[in-house]
Structure 1
Amino acid sequence: MILNSANSLPFDGKTIRPIAACSIYGIAFYEDLLWAIDSRNGYLLKIDPHTDNTIIVNSQNWSNFIGATGLAIADNLLWFTTEDSIYYCDLADPQLNPELFVRLSYRADGIAVWQSTIYVTCQKTGEILIYNRETKEKITHLYSPGIGIENIAVRDEEIWLTDDLEQTVYCLERATGKTIFSVLTPFEAPTGLAFYLDPATGKQTLYVAYADREIYIRDNPNANPNYELQYRDRTFIHPLYFHYDPEKRYSLSNGYLVEMSYAEEMSPLDPIELKDVEWRIALPAETDRQKIRKIEPIGLPFTEEIQDGQRIAVFKFDVLKSEDRYVFGWKATLEVWSIKYQIKPRDCEKLPELENEFRQKYLVDDDDLAMDTEIIRRAAEDAIGRETNILRKIYSIRNYVYDKLSYGIKPHIDPPHIVLKRGVGSCGEYLGLLLALCRLNNIACRTVGRYKCPPYPHQKGIPLLPDYNHVWMEFYLPGIGWLPMESNPDDIFEGGPYPTRFFMGLAWYHAEMSKGVPFEVLKSEGVVVNKEQVSIGELAINHVRFTILAELSPD
């Protein structure tokens, strides 16, 4: 069975931006309009999704709704949650006077109504609480799959959740709470969700609300200098398109057509002369979530070679001298999607043995991983404890590294034993420690990367420049294949708990290349030029640019 989002695009698939809204949480479609709670202002909003025209419905008693995070409408009753209480009010009442349904021991977050049943999410307990609508008695509870504030919707036999920290939408079985699949959202901080039924086609599209803050440059004429860095609220509702393939065990969500270019500008810092030069740059990879539409050269032509399954652009020069000036590289048009693999620990109980070729290539210290040092060997044992399941081992190693390290950028990468003692690491240093601990526990893994598109999908047609390169890892499950895991972005709390959004998942903005091979290599007269002889960074300036061309649907 394949579960798909609607192929139709109601409202032309537009982003809905309610006027005057600051922080939208719960949303619901009712009578062809979008209803929403603005938690910051206490506004109950009625929005025309075609025009963004916005009406404050509770203009007389907005203070009763301040802090509300959940919203549901059923049988002409509006339900909402605020602090530890659940309220309802009759939409026929012009004053919308709230009546208390039940008060919880902890804060109530999201709410959904299905026939005679009320569903309420609670981050504090990590549960979905289920109440009888008539008796107000608690029937049972289900466990929430994420760690953040969750909002909820019910559709037929499914429960749908957003999680603001996990950047994820979950689809659960309504009867058991078992996760059927999950998908990453294209933006951070999802805070509400609702299905829109297109009356013309009878198909449904899932809309997700987002609420966070963005940085902007404010022109303040009273300051000197007059430009200031400030924050402002950002909230909107955007369709979530997704495709779940249970046979391949992954889900795809909102994709983008992206043009990426990588070019080197020759500008040597020191006198140099190299003969018979091959400048080798990895090209983007074809993966479950990334497809290449077109690749073309920049500046100079290149030939293409395949190295360990990776496409490599090879630029050739008879002689490279300090006085030479070139621009050369490639430009690729890519389809990129968010992906989330749906592999569970029970799927890994009877895996075959790791193949010998993987042992020889992906269990060895081939990148200054300090795997023979006492501190790293001891850490490899401590990280997994008595765990025997390979997927739980990897999860435990990730959490161990997150417990031991905090993120920080340095001009160079130190080996894992130094990083572990220091307690601070860049993405590459997180990765080195992850690789060392996994390989010492007989888990095949490799470095992958190389860049992330700046995550601003609304800025189409504008060249976007990433600030840094980026690396993450892939681990190998025998009989299943390579799965991604981010190096450090999920390390967002001191001591956890940590999100799992990028554990077996990647966002649309990851550009995949350089799988198991160096991203860029310089050869002279058939021999690899090492950093001690000539550093590529001292020879040339790299130029990386992304342009988002269009949003895609995986169906």
Structure 2
Amino acid sequence: MFRTIRPFAAYAIQDISCLGDRLIALDHTTGYLLQVNLKNDDTTILNPDRVGEFLDVTGFAVWEDKLWFTRDEDVYFCNLTDFTPQHFVSLPYTANGITVWESTVYVSCQKTGYIYIYDANKGNLITRFYTPGIGREHLTIKGEEIWVADDEEQTVFCLERATGEIKFSLLTPFENPTGLAFYHAPETDKEVLYVAYAYKECYVRDDPNSDPPQELDYRDRTFIHPLYFQYYPEGNYALSNGYLMEVSYVEELSQLEDVHLENLEWRIALPSETLRQKIREIYPIGRPFTEEIINGQRVAVFKFDKLTSKERHIFGWKALLEVYSIKYRLTPRDVEKLPELAPELQEKYLVDNDDLAMDTQIIRNAAKEAIGTETNLMRKIYKIRNFVYDKLSYGIKPHIDPPDVALQRGVGSCGEYLGILLALSRLNGIACRTVGRYKCPKNPEYQNVPLSPDFNHVWMEFYVPGFGWLPMESNPDDVVEGGPYPTRFFMGLSWYHVEIGKGISFENISSNSVLLNKEVVSIGDLALNHIRFTILSELPPS
């Protein structure tokens, strides 16, 4: 395991590069070119008398004795000894990332959506590739591959250097990646992909002159962290940085109503075993439970002979999990000739079995409008997602309305986004189901500290016949008004998504074998839930 690097006097690292056994970082707010010791963060300014030349630089790369960099629409190069810029070429819009391989220069431009390839000696344009994401992108090269970090997508893409085709992509453990470089560690003969990050962090600041003496403020966060990954071409997916964590879900009986129930069974779904989530251990909290398998999912069953308003109990489970980020890579071409959806999947996942309002005119019209004349499954589900993002804005509500009501209102929570996505997908013949329940707070540096999520969360999986279930987030990619929308969680999940009870009810109660719905008695009126995450350590996928 390689350590996180935190250069001194760095505010916003915009790009990184490796020169032999040295790591060089660029801080575009100060103009510093920083040489950083990977073992102890020892930091040296390489351009002490030329920092003004590198203010607001958007990307840089080193090849042999030359340093190449981008600023505004222009690309420059200079000697590593005197740092005197020489103009190379100009782009029509702001140039972002840059990398160099022998006599070829690669420059990315977010505005045009292209990576431009130039001859380093003549300055003429050789060709161009489409950029793989929608954000500002930074580049590096390893052999026959171009590696691209996209800040909006929270993703690193691996592209064929000859064609620009995407081989696979990796979700980064932190948001807003701003640079990447491969480093060969001579002492271990191992190669590691370092990724830089820069963003503003909200925090509570002590102010003795205020009453109360705390105020909300922002500070710069920037660091360089190793991105571990494993690509599985036979499964069309890649795993990246994972974490070993404890996850607990506990109910505390605290009735709001005078309720008396006989032979009560309280079922709580348990974490799922998946390609990205491994269960090391599960054990009960407070009271023992037995296990049931429902639609292939493990469920804990807590039994009470009777339950009265005077009784108090604590019960639930704790799990030790390995959870990794996963990103699938399937294209519309891969799903052109699909087998028929199995009848048992049609019966479960193409029907309205969860108050989806699939028989209402507004939802039926939306299902037609969302896909237009499209027939390809992958393009249909992608268009449905973008249609819902166009129609909804995110907002938290105390209860979930049916899809027709949420669609008319134009504002929805994650559960309402999900309901509309399920309804439109099923009406268009795409089998899909609910997944989720909770996300670990996105603070992987807070290890061995109990963390509590603010809300529960749900997302979905859609089924590709002949391949299997693929994940898709409900609302977190709806971050740009009117699009274009990132695809980081389209066929992908980050390490903080914890999968519990795929396609089944997360929690329900029955008395004398009769399932009790919320009109009879609400679980929320019977108990308080306690959810806790503790991140223990970081794990590379094996």
Name the TM tier (shorter chain): over 0.9
Matches within 5 A, 1:227-306: 227-306=214-293
Is 1:515 matched up with 2:506?
Answer: no
Is 1:48 matched up with 2:48?
Answer: no
Q: 8 Å contact 2:388–2:420 — kept in the other structure? A: yes
Whichever residue aligns with residue 365 of structure 2, its letter is R
Whichever residue aligns with residue 264 of structure 2, its letter is V
Whichever residue aligns with residue 39 of structure 1, its letter is H
Is 1:120 matched up with 2:107?
Answer: yes
Whichever residue aligns with residue 361 of structure 1, its letter is K
Q: Distance in 2 between matches of 1:228 and 1:207?
A: 34
Whichever residue aligns with residue 491 of structure 1, its letter is D
Among 73, 76, 85, the residue aligned to 1:98: 85
Q: Distance in 2 between matches of 1:172 and 1:517?
A: 38
Whichever residue aligns with residue 147 of structure 2, its letter is W
Question: 1:223: Cα distance to partner?
Answer: 1.3
Q: Distance in 2 between matches of 1:494 and 1:260?
A: 35
Unmatched runs of 5 consecutive residues or more in structure 1: 1-8
Q: Distance in 2 between matches of 1:384 and 1:532?
A: 37
Among 456, 464, 474, the residue aligned to 2:451: 464
1:464-523 alpha-carbon deviations (Å, 9 max, x no partner): 000000000000111111110000000001100000000000000000011111000101
Whichever residue aligns with residue 69 of structure 2, its letter is F
Matches within 5 A, 1:31-430: 31-93=20-82, 96-430=83-417
Structure 1 range deviating more: 152-161 or 56-65: 56-65
> Match of 1:366, SS?
coil
Question: 1:92: Cα distance to partner?
Answer: 2.1
Calculate percent identity across the aligned residue pairs: 63
Q: Distance in 2 between matches of 1:278 and 1:410?
A: 29
1:120-176 alpha-carbon deviations (Å, 9 max, x no partner): 111011111111111111111111110000000011100000000000000000000
Whichever residue aligns with residue 411 of structure 2, its letter is V
Equivalence for 1:26: 15
Question: 1:55: Cα distance to partner?
Answer: 1.5
Whichever residue aligns with residue 548 of structure 1, its letter is I
Question: 1:201: Cα distance to partner?
Answer: 4.0
Q: 8 Å contact 2:97–2:109 — kept in the other structure? A: yes
Whichever residue aligns with residue 516 of structure 1, its letter is G
Q: How many residues align?
A: 542
Q: 8 Å contact 2:236–2:329 — kept in the other structure? A: yes
Query: What TM-score do the two structures reach when normalised by structure 1?
Result: 0.97
Is 1:525 matched up with 2:512?
Answer: yes
Q: Distance in 2 between matches of 1:90 and 1:50?
A: 27
1:20-47 alpha-carbon deviations (Å, 9 max, x no partner): 1111111011142211110122211111
Q: Distance in 2 between matches of 1:349 and 1:137?
A: 39
Question: 1:407: Cα distance to partner?
Answer: 0.1
> Match of 1:398, SS?
helix
Q: Distance in 1 between matches of 2:40 and 2:111?
A: 37
Root mean square deviation of aligned Cα:
0.8
Q: 8 Å contact 2:21–2:185 — kept in the other structure? A: no
Q: Distance in 2 between matches of 1:201 and 1:532?
A: 63
Q: 8 Å contact 2:21–2:186 — kept in the other structure? A: no
Q: Distance in 2 between matches of 1:53 and 1:71?
A: 21
Q: Distance in 2 between matches of 1:203 and 1:264?
A: 47
Q: Distance in 2 between matches of 1:232 and 1:75?
A: 36
Query: What TM-score do the two structures reach when normalised by structure 2?
Result: 0.99
Q: Distance in 1 between matches of 2:190 and 2:299?
A: 44
Q: Distance in 2 between matches of 1:132 and 1:51?
A: 38
Question: 1:229: Cα distance to partner?
Answer: 1.0
Q: Distance in 2 between matches of 1:410 and 1:501?
A: 25
Question: 1:191: Cα distance to partner?
Answer: 0.7
Return structure 1 stretches of 4+ with deviation > 4 angstroms.
none
Question: 1:72: Cα distance to partner?
Answer: 0.8
Q: Distance in 1 between matches of 2:121 and 2:146?
A: 21
Whichever residue aligns with residue 85 of structure 2, its letter is P
Question: 1:61: Cα distance to partner?
Answer: 2.2
Q: Distance in 1 between matches of 2:420 and 2:247?
A: 30
Question: 1:202: Cα distance to partner?
Answer: 3.2
> Match of 2:373, SS?
coil
Equivalence for 1:16: 5
Structure 1 range deviating more: 16-25 or 50-59: 50-59
Structure 1 range deviating more: 59-68 or 235-244: 59-68
Q: Distance in 1 between matches of 2:398 and 2:413?
A: 9
> Match of 2:364, SS?
helix
Unmatched runs of 5 consecutive residues or more in structure 2: none
Whichever residue aligns with residue 157 of structure 2, its letter is Y
